[in-house]
Chains A and B, each alone.
Chain A
Amino acid sequence: MPAVQETIEQVRKIDVDQYKYGFETIIEMDKAPKGLSEETIRFISAKKNEPEWMLEWRLGAFRRWLTLEEPTWARVDYPKIDFQDIHYYAAPKNQSGPRSLDEVDPELLKVYEKLGIPLKEQEILAGVQKQPDGELDEANDNVYKSGRVAVDAVFDSVSVVTTFKKELAAAGVIFCSISEAIREHPDLVKKYLGSVVPTTDNFYATLNSAVFTDGSFVYVPKGVRCPMELSTYFRINEKNTGQFERTLIIAEEGAYVSYLEGCTAPQRDENQLHAAVVELIALDDAEIKYSTVQNWYPGDAQGKGGIYNFVTKRGDCRGDRSKISWTQVETGSAITWKYPSCILRGDDSRGEFYSIAVSNGYQQVDSGTKMIHLGKNTSSRIISKGIAAGFSQNTYRGQVSAHRKATNARNFTNCDSLLIGDQCGAHTVPYIEAKNSSAQFEHEATTSKISDDQKFYVMQRGIPEEEAIALIVNGFVKEVIQELPMEFAVEAQKLIGISLEGSVG
C-alpha cells in the first residue's frame, strides 16, 4: 500500500499549518486601483481589448450586483467583506495574454516549477519532452499513455500560457484563455457565456460576471474526442487581490473532454477572495468530465488568513444522452462555498458528483451539488465524503429535484461524514423534491467516527494505529478518488494526508 504509506509519511513530516505552496513570488505587477466601480470594469475591459458588447454585458451584471445582498444561508461565518478594498485586476507586467513559452517571464516559470507540478509536467508544460515510452505502462490511464496534458496557466488575473494549442487545433479543439476567446471566437462566447449561469444568478456569480479577468475556454466540435486531458492551474500571488476567473466549456454533439483544475495561493494573514464561475454545456451524446483539486491556502492553525472560495459551477446537459461528471477534492480554502450542479435538460442525460471535502484547523466547508431533473429518463448519482477534523465545520448541502415532466428520473445519493476529534462539526442538509410519480430517489447519509471495531480489526494484523487510521480514511474516500484521472488521484491522496495532519493518531 504505497499510497497509504505516503500519506503517513506526509502526516508525520509536516506541521498542521505548513502549507507547501505558501510562498510568494516577487514579480512586477500591473494592477487596477483598489475598489469596484464602473470605472474598474471599464479598466479591466480595456486591458483585455474587449469588444463593446462584452463591456456592456459586464456593466449590466455590475448594475444588477449593486441590487443584491450577500447570501447568508450557508453554514459559514466570516467578517463582512469590503468589496472596495480589493484589487480587481493584477497581471504580471509585459504579460497581457498568453504567448509562446520562450516569451514567458522566467520568474513565472519558476513559480510553476516551485508549485510542485511534477517535473515531467513541467516538461510537458514547456512542451519540450515527451514522457519516455513504457515508463508507466502499468498504468492504463490516458494521461500517462499520451504523456501529455495541455495546460492553461492562470496567474492572478491573466492566463500566462496555454500549451499544445497547435495540436489541439488540428483536432478542431479550441483551448485558450477566455479573454482570447472573447476576441477570437466572439460568436461562440456570445452564444454560450451566461447561458448556464446567467448574470443574474447569485451574488458572487453576478460579481464575477462584472469583473472576471481570465479563465479557460474549451470548445470541442461535433464528434471529437479531445486527444488529451485539458488542465488549468490557477495561482493567486498578489496581495489584496481577488481572483475572478470564468471558465466555459462546450462539448458539441458526441464530443468528449476531460478537464482538470488545480489551484494554490501564498500564505498570508489576511483573507483573499476567489469567486469563480464555471459553465459547462454538453449537447447531444456529449460528455464532459470536470475534476478539481482545490488547494487554496486554508489559513494557519489559528484560523488566520486563507482564501474565501465562493464559486458557482454548473453544467447544463442540454442535449439528449449527454453526461456531465463533477469530481472534486476540497482540501484548501478558509471557507468553501461551492455547489457544482447539473441541469439534466436533455432526455436520458446523466449527472454525476463525486466529492471529498476535508477540513481541518478552522476551515469551514459548505459544499454539495444540485441535480435538477427536467428531461425524461434522466439519472444522477451523488457520492460525497466529508472529513472534519480540528475545529472545522464541514457541511454537505445538496438538492435533488424532479420536475413534473421528468418521467423516470433516478437519483442515488450517498453522503458520509467522518469526524476526527470532538471540536469539529459535520452537517448534512439535503433537499429532495419529487414532483413526478415515476421519480425514484434514494438518499442515505451517515456520520460517525472511525469505529473502534474497524481500527481494532486493522491493528490486530500488526498495523500501527496511525497507519490503521490512514488506511481506513483512504478506504472511506476511495470511491471518489477512483473517479479522478490518475495523476490527480495521486496528488489528491497526498493532499488528504497533509490536510489531516495533527488530527490523525
Chain B
Amino acid sequence: MNMHAQQPQRTGAETALLEAYDSRLSVLPGDGAVTVKRDNALEVLKAGLPTKRIEAWHYTDLRRLLTAVPQHDASAVADKLGALLDGSAVLPVLNGVSSANLPSVDGVRFERLEDKLRDGSFAPALEVQGTDDAIGALNAAFVADGYFVDIEADAEIAAPIELQNIQAGGQTHSRFPVRVGDRAKVTIVERQTGEGAGLSTSISHLTLGEGAEVLWIIVQDQPDDSTYLGQFNAALGKDSKLTLFFMNAGGRLVRQEVRVGTAGEGSDFQLRGINLLAGDTHTDVTMVLDHTKPHTGSRELIRNVVTGKARGVFQGRINVHQIAQKTDAKMACNTLLLSDDGEFSTKPELEIFADDVQCGHGATVKEIDHDHLFYLKARGIDEKTARGLLVKAFLAEVIEELEVEPIVEALEARLDQWFATHG
C-alpha cells in the first residue's frame, strides 16, 4: 500500500496512445481552439490511465486491463447496418468517418461533426470532466467525427433516428451531440458494434429542452476481442423526461458510463439496462446521477446475466444536492450468476444532502431459483430449456417496460440472438 512508490513506468498501452497522438494530430480535424482542447486532454492521459485506486474505476483497472491499442487504419472498411427499427433515419459512422449523405427529416437538422471540429465551433464541448474522466480525455484527444443532431422545439419525430458507430478493427473515436428542443419528442437508437479487435470510444451529449421527451436506446454488441469505452451524458430541462435503455452484449473490455443531471425542476430520468456477459470479458456500467433541482424523479433498473469467466460491474451513484428537495430516486441492480468462474461486483451509492427526499437502492446477486427450475422440470421441460426460459424471463421484464411494441420485439430478437450463441 505504499503510495510513495507510485509513478511507475508507462504501460505498453499508455505509450501506444501517446505515440498515436503524435502521429494522428496532423490529420485530425480542427486546429486552434480544438487543438488546445486535445492537448489538455492529452495531459490527463499523460498522468496515466486510471487504476483501481481511482474510486470511479475501482473495479475496472483500466491501466491493467487495457492491453491492446491498435492504430487507426484508414483503409479498413466497415459496412452500414440495417436499422434496428423499421423506418429509422440512419446516420452511420463507419470506421470513424461520418457520411456526407445526410438524411432529411422534418424538424431535424443534422451536421457532420467533422465540420464542427474543423470550424472550431465544437471546441468548448471537448472539455474533460475531471481527472478520472479517462474516456472523456481519450475521446477529446482523438475524436475525428460523429454527428450533431438538432431537433426543433415542438417537433414530434415519428421515425426513430439511429446513430451507428461501426469500427473496423482499428482505433476510432466518435461523438454524438444531440439537442432536443422544448416539448419535442424523439426516439434515438445508438448502435455500437463492428468487426475486429478494435478500440473505440464514443461520447453522446444529450440536452433536453423544457418538457421534451426522449427514448434513447443503446445496443452494444462489439466482437469479443474488442475494447469499447462509451459515455452517455444528459442534461434534463424543466419537466423533461428521458428514458435510457442499454443492452451490453459483447466486447472484451467494455465500460459504459452514464452521466445524467436533472438540471430542470420536475424532470424525470428512467434507466433500464441489461448486461449479457459471457466468455473471458470485462464489462463495467458506471452511472452518476445528479439531482440538482427540486421535484425530480429517477428510477434505475439493471439486470445482469453472467456466464463463462465474465466479470461484470455496476456502479451507480445518486447525488442529491441540498436544494433538490422532494427528490424521489430508486435504483435496483439484480444479477444472475450462472457460472462458477463468473463474477459480478456492485457499488450502488447514495450521496444525499437534502432531507425531504425518498431515496433507496437495492442490489441482489443470486443463482437461478431452484424452486422455479423444479417447477418447470416437473412439467417435462429439460433443464437447459428451463434455465433458458427463466433467464429470459428475468431479462425480458426490463425490456417489456419500454412498452413500445416494435422496440420490445427488436430488443427481444437481439436477446434471442445472444442466447443462440451463448445460451
A432-B345, A434-B344 are contacts. A417–B352 as well, Cβ < 8 Å? yes
Rounded to whole angstroms, the CA-CA distance of A421 and B322 in the bound complex is: 11
Cβ-defined contact, B350 with A428, below 8 A: yes
Cβ-defined contact, B359 with A447, below 8 A: yes
Residues of A within 8 A of B353 (CB): 422, 424-425
In the complex, residue of chain B having the shortest beta-carbon distance to the beta carbon of A447: B359
Checking B55, B337, B345, B367 against A73 with a beta-carbon cut-off of 8 angstroms, the contacting residue is B55
Cβ-defined contact, B363 with A69, below 8 A: no
Rounded to whole angstroms, the CA-CA distance of A419 and B55 in the bound complex is: 26
In the complex, residue of chain A having the shortest beta-carbon distance to the beta carbon of B319: A427
A68-B2, A202-B1, A448-B359 are contacts. A440–B366 as well, Cβ < 8 Å? yes
Cβ-defined contact, B3 with A69, below 8 A: yes
Cβ-defined contact, A430 with B347, below 8 A: yes
- Taking the complex as formed, is B70 at the interface, i.e. its CB lies under 8 A from any CB of chain A? no
Checking A425, A434, A440, A443 against B352 with a beta-carbon cut-off of 8 angstroms, the contacting residue is A425
Residues of A within 8 A of B350 (CB): 417, 426-428, 445, 447
Cβ-defined contact, B360 with A445, below 8 A: yes
Q: Mark B310-349, 1 if CB is under 8 A from A, else 0.
A: 0000000000001001000000000101111011111111
A149-190 interface (Cβ within 8 A of B): none
Rounded to whole angstroms, the CA-CA distance of A242 and B37 in the bound complex is: 50
- Taking the complex as formed, is A444 at the interface, i.e. its CB lies under 8 A from any CB of chain B? yes
Q: How far is the CB of A203 from chain B (nearest CB, A)?
A: 8
- Taking the complex as formed, is B215 at the interface, i.e. its CB lies under 8 A from any CB of chain A? no
Q: How far is the CB of B304 from chain A (nearest CB, A)?
A: 11
- Taking the complex as formed, is A433 at the interface, i.e. its CB lies under 8 A from any CB of chain B? yes
Rounded to whole angstroms, the CA-CA distance of A353 and B174 in the bound complex is: 48
Residues of A within 8 A of B340 (CB): 404, 436-437
Checking B3, B351, B356, B362 against A449 with a beta-carbon cut-off of 8 angstroms, the contacting residue is B356
Rounded to whole angstroms, the CA-CA distance of A421 and B3 in the bound complex is: 39
Q: How far is the CB of B13 from chain A (nearest CB, A)?
A: 25
Rounded to whole angstroms, the CA-CA distance of A200 and B2 in the bound complex is: 11
Rounded to whole angstroms, the CA-CA distance of A421 and B345 in the bound complex is: 34
Cβ-defined contact, B361 with A444, below 8 A: yes
Rounded to whole angstroms, the CA-CA distance of A431 and B354 in the bound complex is: 24
Q: How far is the CB of B249 from chain A (nearest CB, A)?
A: 20
Cβ-defined contact, A420 with B347, below 8 A: no
In the complex, residue of chain B having the shortest beta-carbon distance to the beta carbon of A431: B347
Residues of B within 8 A of A435 (CB): 343
A426-B350, A439-B365, A443-B348 are contacts. A434–B337 as well, Cβ < 8 Å? yes
Residues of A within 8 A of B359 (CB): 446-448
A202-B1, A445-B348, A447-B352 are contacts. A437–B363 as well, Cβ < 8 Å? no
A433-B345, A434-B344, A437-B340 are contacts. A444–B360 as well, Cβ < 8 Å? yes
Cβ-defined contact, A445 with B366, below 8 A: no
In the complex, residue of chain A having the shortest beta-carbon distance to the beta carbon of B323: A422
Checking B346, B352, B362 against A419 with a beta-carbon cut-off of 8 angstroms, the contacting residue is B352
Cβ-defined contact, B362 with A436, below 8 A: no
Residues of B within 8 A of A21 (CB): none
Q: How far is the CB of B63 from chain A (nearest CB, A)?
A: 18
Cβ-defined contact, B349 with A428, below 8 A: yes
Q: How far is the CB of A384 from chain B (nearest CB, A)?
A: 13
- Taking the complex as formed, is B4 at the interface, i.e. its CB lies under 8 A from any CB of chain A? yes
Cβ-defined contact, A422 with B355, below 8 A: yes
Rounded to whole angstroms, the CA-CA distance of A449 and B354 in the bound complex is: 9
In the complex, residue of chain B having the shortest beta-carbon distance to the beta carbon of A428: B350
Cβ-defined contact, B349 with A427, below 8 A: yes
- Taking the complex as formed, is B78 at the interface, i.e. its CB lies under 8 A from any CB of chain A? no
Cβ-defined contact, A443 with B363, below 8 A: yes
Rounded to whole angstroms, the CA-CA distance of A431 and B351 in the bound complex is: 15
Q: How far is the CB of B356 from chain A (nearest CB, A)?
A: 5
B355-379 interface (Cβ within 8 A of A): 355-367
Checking B2, B335, B354, B360 against A422 with a beta-carbon cut-off of 8 angstroms, the contacting residue is B354
Checking B55, B355, B362 against A424 with a beta-carbon cut-off of 8 angstroms, the contacting residue is B355
Q: Mark A193-208, 1 if CB is under 8 A from B, else 0.
A: 0000000101000000
Q: How far is the CB of B401 from chain A (nearest CB, A)?
A: 21
Cβ-defined contact, B355 with A440, below 8 A: no
- Taking the complex as formed, is A112 at the interface, i.e. its CB lies under 8 A from any CB of chain B? no
Residues of A within 8 A of B3 (CB): 69
Checking B322, B347, B357 against A448 with a beta-carbon cut-off of 8 angstroms, the contacting residue is B357
- A-B CB proximity, top 10 nearest: A419-B355, A446-B360, A435-B343, A434-B365, A437-B337, A443-B363, A432-B346, A441-B365, A428-B350, A433-B345
Given A441-B366, A443-B346: 11 more A-B contacts, CB < 8 Å: A73-B55, A425-B352, A428-B361, A432-B365, A436-B337, A437-B338, A438-B367, A439-B365, A444-B363, A447-B357, A447-B359
Query: Which residues of B approach A to under 8 Å, CB–CB?
Result: 1-4, 55, 58, 322, 325, 335, 337-340, 342-367
A-B residue pairs in contact (CB < 8 Å), sample of 18? A68-B1, A68-B2, A69-B3, A422-B322, A429-B347, A432-B348, A434-B344, A437-B342, A440-B367, A441-B365, A442-B363, A442-B364, A443-B348, A443-B364, A444-B361, A445-B361, A445-B362, A447-B359
